[in-house]
Amino acid sequence: MKTVILIPAYKPEESFVDFSERLIAKGHTVVAVDDGGGEAFADVFKRVEAIGVTVVTHEVNRGKGRALKTGIGYVCEHMPDVDLIVTADCDGQHRIEDIEKVISTAEENPGVMVIGGRFRDKTVKVPFKSRLGNGFTRVIFRLATGTKIHDTQTGLRGLPKKMFSELLKVKGERYEYEMNMLLMLHVWEQEFVEIPIETVYVNNNAGSHYNPFKDSLRILGEILKFTAVSLISFLIDYIAFILLSQFVFKDGGINFATLFNVSGWVGAAISTFSLAYLVARIISGTFNYFANRKLVFKRGSGSSAAKYLALALAIMLVGALLTGLLVNFGWNKYLVKILIDSGLYVANYYFQREWVFKKAPKKKDAA
């Protein structure tokens, strides 16, 4: 398996030269992307180029994501026989032994993406911003995808050839690119394996340009998109319910409790199944399904439509029953609808992610 080590480098320290020398001495092919560090760092890149590293240069800083895409594009164009790209950071966090561990794992698992995961060694003191950044994104990633990856921020990854063309299309120019790469695994139906690597920090990770606050915000896209779609769907549902109740179906249209001759608290609950309620849910539900299918989960089929319909009916039934009960106790029906629907948001998201649009990337045990 022909492999290239791809290193995006922005204002690298002196240790980058030693790191490159040791990689070349081990017989590895190395491509480094100078991400616009400027003249102050030109000498560093000249020195690594002199020992055999291929250097591709950005005239201005364009971000880690763009640097990775530039490097992948260079490999595709100039090294078409390469089967695996291993990305590594230039700040000394990744040991050569772990890079070779990623390579050997990829050789034993052809076509599988290999993720080198840190933070498993409890004896290593992890810098606060690294612990905060990875902990935050790990939780958000699990919420957004249902997939468990321990180290979502690691820069040490083995990328098989079948991913190259797709990786060039992934959105993101900075640190969010690496998260977006993971978020796309389910779309590509790409298998992955996460292997433990040693946690190394040089000078308390002072060389890292990752900002745990600003850059973490960039990776919230998927779950925020679902929240936005859900909010818009809720507004459509709520406004349609009010308009239909006031102008189309007076008092809701049909009282289903009276129609089916049901009384008591059951009747009060069923009475909320008015034509206004049902039509409003059909309108908002149709928007919600297609928006989530196209924008959030990016997957779905005929079976997903049937599953969504079943989920929508269940959510509607629970919402109507709970709303009816509280209205029967004297609560305002419009206020109750807001409270109940807000509570059902979490359940709706979970079942859409885990059941309706479920197609998680396959996590594979290392051979």
Above 70 in pLDDT, residue 175? yes
Does residue 66 carry a pLDDT above 90? yes
What pLDDT sits at residue 207? Answer: 45
The string of pLDDT tens digits covering residues 344-357 is: 877 877 787 677 77
**Mind listing the pLDDT tens digit for each residue in 244-294?**
877 776 554 455 555 556 555 555 555 555 667 778 888 988 898 888 777
| pLDDT reading at 228 higher than 90 | no
Domains and CATH numbers, the chain: 3-219 (3.90.550.10), 223-356 (no CATH)
pLDDT in tens, 309-339: 888 888 877 877 787 778 777 788 678 778 8
pLDDT higher than threshold 50 for residue 205: no
Lowest mean pLDDT among 19-33, 78-92, 330-344: 330-344
DSSP 286-298: HHHHHHIIIIIS-
Query: Is 0.95 topped by the overall pTM?
Result: no
What is the pLDDT at residue 179?
84
Q: Is the pLDDT of residue 159 over 70?
A: yes
What pLDDT is stored for residue 209 in this prediction?
A: 47
- pLDDT at residue 210 is higher than 60: no
| 208 has pLDDT over 70 | no
User: pLDDT band for position 86 (50/70/90)?
Assistant: very high
